[in-house]
Amino acid sequence: MKTRKSIDPFWWSLFGTGGVIAALCLPALLFLNGVAIPLGWIEAPSYEHVLTLVKNSLTRLFLFVVISLSLFHWAHRFRFTLYDGLQLKHLNQLIAVLCYGTAMIGTIASLYTLWGL
């Protein structure tokens, strides 16, 4: 952890915050949206209800933070997994660009989607 920190505290802080947000929020969102509602355990909220909900600024901000920071959490962690696990140290730069780049694209796409509603 120490070496990671010294390499780039900025990415590490995004990784850390994203890790907390993902740990707290994703299981509930995933369970409800992807398992409980599709299986009919819980009645799906209506289109209008979801639309009204997402049009609320606080919901938008929440979803933006969840999506973007989850992606930056992945980017940093996955980068070092490839690094340590598969020893792709010679591809360091390429991997970093691909990982953080994907997170940035997702962030821009979520901004565009959420505020285009």
Q: Which of 14, 61, 85, 98 binds another protein (CB under 8 A)?
A: 85
Instruction: Looking at 1-117, list the stretches that DSSP marks H as alpha helix, in order from N- to C-terminal side.
Output: 2-7, 9-30, 47-55, 57-85, 92-115
How would DSSP label each residue in 9-37? HHHHHHHHHHHHHHHHHHHHHHIIIIIIT
* 54 binds another protein, rule: CB under 8 A: yes
Please give the residues from 12 up to 31 whose contact with another protein meets the rule CB under 8 A: 16, 18-20, 22-31
Structure-block tokens of residue 9: 């505290």
* 2 binds another protein, rule: CB under 8 A: no
Contact 21, 65 (CB under 8 A): yes
Interacting residues with another protein (CB under 8 A): 7-8, 16, 18-20, 22-35, 37-39, 42-47, 49-51, 53-54, 59, 63, 66-68, 70-71, 73-75, 77-78, 80-81, 85-87, 89, 92-93, 96, 102-103, 106, 109-110, 113-114, 116-117
